[in-house]
Structure 1
Amino acid sequence: MSRSLYAALLLLSLIWGGSFLFIKVLLLHQVGPWTIVFLRSSFGFVFIVLLMLFMRIPFKINSIPWKSVILVALVNMVLPWTLIGFSETRIASSMASVLNATTPIWTMLVGLVLFGAIFHRLQWLGMCLAFVGIIILLGINPASIISVDPVGFGCMLLATLCYGFGTQLSKRFLSNLSMYQATFATLFGAAVGGGIMMTIVERPDLSIVFVPGVFGSLVGLGVLGSGVAYILFNYMILRGSAEFAASVTYFVPVSAIVWGFLLLNEHIGWNVLAGLVLILGGVFMANQRRTVKLAG
């Protein structure tokens, strides 16, 4: 993997490290999960449109495979974002981060079973080692797992499975698009899908957007966590691999802890450093060999 891909991985983890906080703020303001999906997609979509116009990047709308784009948007954005929003009303952020970090493993399993991917033993070992690092970093123990709300637990796990499918689908169907086109198209699909479900299920008063705390969180979640983030995410998928892009979820809890240390003066214990060493070592090990795919 090139240095630019690892730089994108680091930057994306820093952006997504704050996303769980923004979601929590929106939920505290009684913004529903479907409404969050619609608003974050819309903010992100407006951002990518303005960015492409400013950079004079052609949209090439007629060359976009819209059926595949809608499928990717639903599986990789609308469904997992909604499930995460709902699960965060029932489980702690630390547990959500651990479950979110199963995404790379699901991505590999989906690739193996449905997309003809072949993985070497070193890749499996690296992914599992990084996941152990997440558990150590966040101090998760059997008691905390047993006490977790089963519905919230199940929804979060289902969201990561959606990410596993969606990431592989992006690699398969969107490889001919640029990272800007892919982000533009999928955010449009997510905004449409989220908007339809928001209207049917929640019917919110959208004037809440202009509440200061809500608007700021939407800018963070929409512009950064959806617009900028998915440019980086699609770059890693298209230039690297689906599995490498999914490994960003290992670093999201790390970046959340770093933000807490820098902004809130929170303590960083030995478990954070030990977990980080395992995560870095595991991700590096897992990406030493490229995935080999079967023909067809």
Structure 2
Amino acid sequence: MTKDIQAEGAFRAWGFLIVLALIWGSSFILIKRGLEIFSPGEVGAFRIVAAGMVLLPLSLPRLKNLKKRQVKNLVIVGLMGSFIPAFLFAKAQTQLSSSLTGVFNAMTPLFVVIIGALFFNARITKRNGIGLAIAFVGVVILLMVKEGTYFGDFSEINSYAFYVLLACLCYGFNLNIIKYRFVELKPVAITALSLLMVLPAALIYLFAFTQFSFKILHVEGAVAAAGYISLLGVLGTAIALILFNIMVKVATPVFASSVTYLIPVVAIMWGLLDGEVLLPGHYFGIVAVIFGVWIGNRR
């Protein structure tokens, strides 16, 4: 009986892992589809609006029990964990393929380690340092590989990749703030409430400072593009975070973190299916980044 329960738990954990990898790995192709009609600002803002609105039933009832210091931290989490990265990823993908964006996103766990050591008195181990060094080499390769030649031209840097790395830096701050400054709130509450904190800003920006409403009404294909962004916000931001929190409970944090290595694989598959081209230099960089993250994130 005990073995059957353990087997069932393992099956559930693997199920969550696969579903999350598919959802988060597909986020980058959804951003790409949204950018076919909308600007990066419109994509980022509508993503937050969709995620925040779908979680209103979870966030609004919890407002009355919040303390002042929690509100401040929730605003920071909302900005660092959702709002700012949503805009940065959209901006990056105006000049960066969806597959490579997914690979750069795998750097998030290492940024968590760096920020933890610099600002939250966490310790960087020798293994962390080795992983950082290997992943850094991979990032440099990916930054400098240029399309147009078989092996790539290393004479120029694709500066748009820095938008993704900045988003990973935001995630690094976000996860450390959640770890060290939130003890009373559960992860689902943090996700819902932090999105609620930034929802008004996203709504005001989207409808007062962009052409989103005009495009929805007058531009062909805008409704379909908005549908892709809605999926991105609802599934990729709101539902996926809840699923991740559940997976952490049914499995171990180490097992849950392995989704980081599967996301780039899914992103690359979507990119190749969409006609994106990866040069040999890209593959060297991809392997170095994923291997470095795996080394640096092991326990």
The answer to whether the superposition gives a TM-score over 0.5 is yes
Query: Are the equivalent residues in 2 in contact too, given 1:107–1:246 (CA < 8 A)?
Result: no
Aligned to 2:184, what secondary structure does the other structure show? coil
Instruction: Indicate which of 88, 106, 113 corresponds to 1:108.
Output: 113
| Structure 1 residues not aligned, in runs of 5+ | 289-296
Instruction: Indicate which of 231, 240, 247 corresponds to 1:229.
Output: 240
Instruction: Indicate which of 246, 249, 266 corresponds to 1:255.
Output: 266
Query: Are the equivalent residues in 1 in contact too, given 2:99–2:267 (CA < 8 A)?
Result: no
Aligned to 2:35, what secondary structure does the other structure show? helix
Partner in structure 1 of residue 187 of structure 2: 179
CA distance in 2, matches of 1:265, 1:198: 31
CA distance in 1, matches of 2:177, 2:157: 31
1:179-229 residue CA offsets vs partner (Å, 9 max, x unmatched): 321221122123223223335642532661894422430232021111112
Matched, 1:217 2:228: yes
| Structure 2 residues not aligned, in runs of 5+ | 1-8, 147-151
Partner in structure 2 of residue 117 of structure 1: 122
CA distance in 1, matches of 2:94, 2:288: 31
CA distance in 2, matches of 1:173, 1:26: 35
Instruction: Indicate which of 46, 65, 72 corresponds to 1:63.
Output: 65
CA distance in 1, matches of 2:260, 2:136: 10
CA distance in 1, matches of 2:135, 2:243: 21
Larger radius of gyration: 2
Partner in structure 2 of residue 159 of structure 1: 167
Q: Quick one: percent identity of the two aligned structures? A: 28
1:85-137 residue CA offsets vs partner (Å, 9 max, x unmatched): 1121122334423432322222111000101111322344356557778999x
Partner in structure 1 of residue 149 of structure 2: none
CA distance in 2, matches of 1:109, 1:186: 23
Partner in structure 1 of residue 5 of structure 2: none
CA distance in 2, matches of 1:172, 1:8: 26
Report the TM-score, using the length of structure 1 for normalisation. 0.72
Q: Give 1:254 deviation, angstroms.
A: 0.7
Tell me the C-alpha RMSD between the 2 structures. Answer: 4.3
